[in-house]
């Protein structure tokens, strides 16, 4: 018996269809497709009609090219591996005027997407004048040219409802898109919206070619007011009861007094999953499901945890940590950690991974 990361592939597929509807999607597949598996994700997205992908790592971008010879692949981080980008036809971000000035001839024949920094202050051009300078210089330049294909930004606040920041970054961005359009510049690809912005806006902005969606495709809601049936989790994480022990008031269990029994005849199930498998300490403040009943986790160790149970629980019973009832997104909204944080913590080197047909 080993803890299991298990995906219902039919439900995963149905979720993609519900999220996609008729909109053009650039699927974000960074970090091994949020741990759903890069090869599986690319194959399934393509079968569902998605042919445009983005990631943050060059090595993943190359793997996507091998999996999808004709896909559009966008690398969201800058790279100086110009030959590799060219050979694999990988589109890459253009993060600043200085990057352009230094590398404009290295970038020959490479598709670039000009990045606008906006409020996130992570990367990108800081103002429209720098973008105009580059576009003008590029227009004058007669040889050894890059290919200007895209314009993009990333919203840092699309899942924040209490502050004005999303409205500010959105208006700044849309004004910039409109101005460049009025200047006569054309971009084949314009993309900005992550899952939160896509669901907030009920679709895609005008002039945009794609929404750039990650977490919703993987079955977690970006914010709590998205109805539960709109996005459904196809992932189950489960472990097993190894044994049930009875302890008495004042007895310590686990390392460093991890748990001290409050009552006599406390029943503790020893379960074969722990933080080494990627269970966040914050998640351990909430319940698990055993035989459809909720029980509290009492202590989290590297490869085990203690769950306080009753006489109905016995060795060999299944322990659900995440499923369509114990949803990752619900724990996000309870403060356990971002959806992507809970997903990417899961240790696929120790968990058994199973795709159910």
Ligand X SMILES: *Cc1c(COP(=O)(O)O)cnc(C)c1O
Site string for ligand X, 278-317 (x = CB under 6 A): ----------------------------------------
Residue closer to ligand X by CB (options 50, 241) is 50
Residue at shortest CB range from ligand X: 214
- Helix, strand and coil in the chain, % to nearest 5: 30, 25, 40
Count of chain residues binding ligand X (CB under 6 A): 12
Question: What is the distance between the alpha carbons of residues 177 and 155, in angstroms, rounded to a whole number?
Answer: 14
> Residues 267, 285: contact at Cβ < 8 Å?
no
Q: Which stretch binds ligand X (CB under 6 A): 135-143, 208-216, 242-250, 283-291?
A: 208-216
Minimal distance, residue 124 CB to ligand X, in Å = 10
Give whole-number Cα distances, 77 to 81, 113, 125, 213, 227, in Å: 12, 11, 13, 17, 33
> Residues 285, 297: contact at Cβ < 8 Å?
yes
214 touching ligand X, by CB under 6 A: yes
Residue 294 forms beta bridges with which residues? Answer: 289
Position among 28, 114, 231, 234 found at the interface with ligand X (CB under 6 A): 28
Question: What is the distance between the alpha carbons of residues 344 and 338, in angstroms, rounded to a whole number?
Answer: 10
Q: Which stretch binds ligand X (CB under 6 A): 130-138, 209-217, 276-284, 316-324?
A: 209-217
Q: Which stretch binds ligand X (CB under 6 A): 160-168, 190-198, 200-208, 273-281?
A: 190-198
Question: Catalytic pick from 30, 97, 170, 238?
Answer: 30
Query: Can 30 be counted among the known catalytic residues?
Result: yes
CA-based nearest residue to 231, from 18, 10, 8? 18
20 touching ligand X, by CB under 6 A: no
Minimal distance, residue 330 CB to ligand X, in Å = 17
End-to-end CA, the chain: 21
Q: Is 315 helix (H, G, I), strand (E, B) or coil?
A: coil
Site string for ligand X, 222-241 (x = CB under 6 A): x-------------------
> Residues 262, 249: contact at Cβ < 8 Å?
yes
Residue closer to ligand X by CB (options 212, 238) is 212
Residue closer to ligand X by CB (options 214, 274) is 214
> Residues 169, 132: contact at Cβ < 8 Å?
no
194 touching ligand X, by CB under 6 A: yes
Q: Which stretch binds ligand X (CB under 6 A): 111-119, 129-137, 188-196, 269-277?
A: 188-196
Q: What angle do CA 104, 109, 114 make, to 5 degrees?
A: 60
Query: Can 116 be counted among the known catalytic residues?
Result: no
Site for ligand X in 48-77 (CB under 6 A): 76
Pairing of strands 352-356, 259-260: unpaired
Residue closer to ligand X by CB (options 115, 277) is 115
CA-based nearest residue to 155, from 147, 146, 164? 164
So which residues are the catalytic ones? 30, 255
Applying CB under 6 A, which residues contact ligand X? 28, 30, 76, 154, 194-196, 212-215, 222
């Amino acid at each position: 018996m080993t803890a299991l990361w298990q995906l219902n592939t039919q439900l995963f597929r149905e979720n993609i269809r519900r999220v996609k509807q008729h909109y053009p999607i650039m699927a974000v597949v960074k970090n091994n497709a949020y741990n759903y598996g890069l090869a599986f994700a690319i194959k399934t997205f393509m079968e569902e009609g998605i042919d445009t992908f983005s990631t943050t790592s060059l090595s993943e971008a190359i793997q996507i090219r091998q999996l999808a010879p004709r896909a559009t692949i966008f690398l969201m981080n800058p790279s100086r591996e110009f030959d590799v980008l060219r050979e694999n036809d990988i589109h890459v971000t253009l993060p600043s005027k200085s990057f352009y000035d230094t590398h404009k001839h290295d970038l020959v024949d490479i598709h670039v997407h000009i990045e606008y920094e906006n409020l996130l202050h992570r990367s990108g051009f800081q103002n429209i004048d720098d973008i105009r300078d580059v576009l003008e210089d590029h227009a004058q330049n007669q040889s050894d040219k890059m290919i200007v294909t895209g314009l993009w930004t990333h919203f840092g606040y699309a899942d924040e409802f209490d502050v004005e920041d999303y409205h500010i970054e959105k208006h700044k961005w849309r004004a910039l898109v409109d101005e460049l359009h009025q200047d006569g510049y054309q971009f084949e690809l314009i993309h900005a919206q992550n899952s939160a912005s896509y669901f907030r806006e009920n679709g895609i902005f005008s002039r945009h070619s794609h929404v750039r969606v990650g977490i919703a495709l993987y079955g977690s809601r970006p914010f709590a007011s998205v109805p539960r049936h709109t996005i459904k989790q196809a992932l189950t994480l489960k472990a097993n009861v190894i044994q049930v022990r009875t302890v008495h008031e004042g007895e310590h269990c686990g390392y460093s007094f991890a748990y001290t029994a409050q009552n006599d005849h406390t029943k503790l199930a020893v379960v074969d999953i722990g933080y080494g498998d990627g269970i966040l300490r914050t998640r351990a403040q909430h319940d698990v499901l055993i035989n459809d009943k909720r029980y509290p986790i009492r202590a989290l160790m590297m490869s085990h945890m203690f769950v306080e149970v009753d006489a109905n629980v016995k060795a060999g019973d299944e322990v659900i940590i995440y499923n369509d009832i114990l949803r990752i997104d619900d724990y996000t909204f309870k403060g356990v950690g971002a959806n992507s944080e809970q997903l990417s913590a899961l240790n696929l080197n120790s968990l058994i991974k199973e795709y159910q047909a």
